[in-house]
């Protein structure tokens, strides 16, 4: 049997051009990938996911570790704060205890000082002062005695020179009118003289009250004052009491045997002033 050999089919240029356009046209459907290609792509994706998840897991583990370290650090800080708070409370408690103890000691010191003042005042309970008396040049003990005796005469008070146990001027500036301190032989005599001086001053006009001319002191005529002799701390408290009396309309503020007394009026209660704190406790 004989075979007839065919010649290759000839494609015209136009047909060839049409076929080329068909192969390059994007609107035409792509050829689906094969099963092996999909497996490769899936394996690749799975590998990437595994690497990603592994890295994410490592990062999470690191964050957890850091968080644990932070928690430990915070716990240490809380423990230190608690320790400091406890120490602070202990120190505060000690300070409060020391403040109470200090106040107790201060109160005790005030009481002791007051007792010392009372003892001093009691030991000088027969002593009084003449204040604002002008100084005499070359003043002697005899001059001072004479002024006190002249004071007794103008008060119509019986006083002998023998009843003056001691007399002197307090130290101070030479040109100042330093108080004259007079100690009598008895407290009764001193109290009687002070009462007479107050009575005379209350009954006379301002110009006729006790003055330097009446006791024949040298210099210009000036008012003189007869008061109990008080120590410095008591004098300071007495001044505060007088200021309190003026500010709060208290009619009476006086001293008796070294004690400071306050009274609102004739019917009111008498207050004994032992310290500045006493003034704060008086009802106004």
Q: Where are the domains of the chain?
A: 51-123, 124-229, 231-284
As to burial, measured by CB atoms within 10 angstroms (0-12 exposed, 13-18 middle, 19+ buried), residue 272 is exposed
Q: Which is nearest to 187 in space by CA: 257, 278, 263, 273?
A: 257
- pLDDT value of residue 30: 55
Q: Which residue has the tokens 């500010």?
A: 247
- pLDDT value of residue 106: 87
- pLDDT value of residue 17: 53
**58 neighbors 65 (Cβ within 8 angstroms):** no
- pLDDT value of residue 144: 94
- DSSP letters spanning the chain: -PPPPPPPPP--HHHHHHHHHHHH-TTSPPPPPPHHHHHHHHHHHHHHHHHHHHHHHHHHHHHHHHHHHHHHHHHHHHHHHHHHHHHHHHHHHHHHHHHHHHHHHHHHHHHHHHHHHHHHHHHTTTEEEEESPPP-TT--HHHHHHHHHHHHHHTT----GGGEEEEEEPP--TTS-PPEEEEES-HHHHHHHHHHHHHHHHHS-GGGSSBTTTTT-SSS--B-EEEE---HHHHHHHHHHHHHHHHTT-SEEEEETTEEEEESSTTSPEEEE-SHHHHHHS--
- The answer for 205, left when phi > 0, alpha when psi is -120 to 50, beta otherwise, is beta
- pLDDT value of residue 119: 76
- pLDDT value of residue 49: 87
Q: Specify which residues 261 forms β-bridges with.
A: 254, 272
Domain 124-229 = CATH 3.30.70.1820: yes
CA-to-CA distance for 128 and 183, rounded, in angstroms? 7
Rg (CA), the chain: 57
- pLDDT value of residue 98: 93
Task: Tell me the two tokens of residue 153.
Answer: 């005469």
Task: Tell me the two tokens of residue 283.
Answer: 């009802």
Ranges under pLDDT 50 in the chain: 1-9, 11, 15, 18-19, 21-24, 28
CA-to-CA distance for 253 and 262, rounded, in angstroms? 5
- The answer for 3, left when phi > 0, alpha when psi is -120 to 50, beta otherwise, is beta
Q: pLDDT tens digits for 206-237?
A: 888 999 999 999 888 999 999 888 888 888 89
């Amino acid at each position: 049997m004989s075979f007839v050999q065919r010649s290759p089919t000839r494609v015209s240029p136009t047909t060839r051009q049409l076929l080329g356009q068909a192969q390059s046209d994007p609107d035409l459907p792509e050829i689906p990938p094969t099963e092996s290609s999909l497996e490769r792509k899936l394996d690749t994706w799975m590998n990437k996911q595994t690497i990603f998840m592994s890295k994410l897991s490592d990062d999470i583990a690191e964050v957890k570790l850091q968080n644990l370290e932070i928690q430990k650090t915070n716990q240490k800080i809380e423990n230190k704060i608690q320790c400091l708070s406890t120490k602070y409370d202990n120190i505060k408690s000690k300070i409060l205890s020391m403040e109470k103890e200090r106040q107790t000691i201060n109160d005790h010191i005030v009481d002791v000082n007051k007792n010392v003042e009372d003892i001093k005042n009691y030991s000088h309970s027969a002593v009084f002062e003449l204040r604002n008396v002008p100084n005499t040049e070359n003043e002697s003990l005899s001059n001072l005695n004479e002024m006190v005796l002249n004071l007794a005469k103008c008060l119509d008070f019986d006083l002998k020179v023998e009843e003056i146990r001691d007399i002197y001027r307090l130290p101070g500036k030479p040109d100042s009118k330093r108080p004259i301190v007079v100690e009598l032989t008895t407290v009764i005599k001193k109290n009687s003289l002070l009462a007479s001086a107050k009575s005379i001053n209350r009954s006379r006009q301002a110009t006729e009250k006790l003055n330097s001319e009446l006791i024949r002191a040298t210099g210009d005529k000036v008012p003189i004052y007869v008061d109990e002799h008080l120590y410095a701390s008591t004098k300071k408290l007495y001044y505060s009491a007088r200021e309190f009396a003026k500010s709060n309309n208290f009619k009476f503020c006086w001293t008796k045997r070294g004690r400071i007394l306050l009274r609102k009026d004739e019917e009111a209660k008498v207050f004994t002033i032992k310290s500045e704190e006493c003034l704060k406790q008086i009802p106004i």
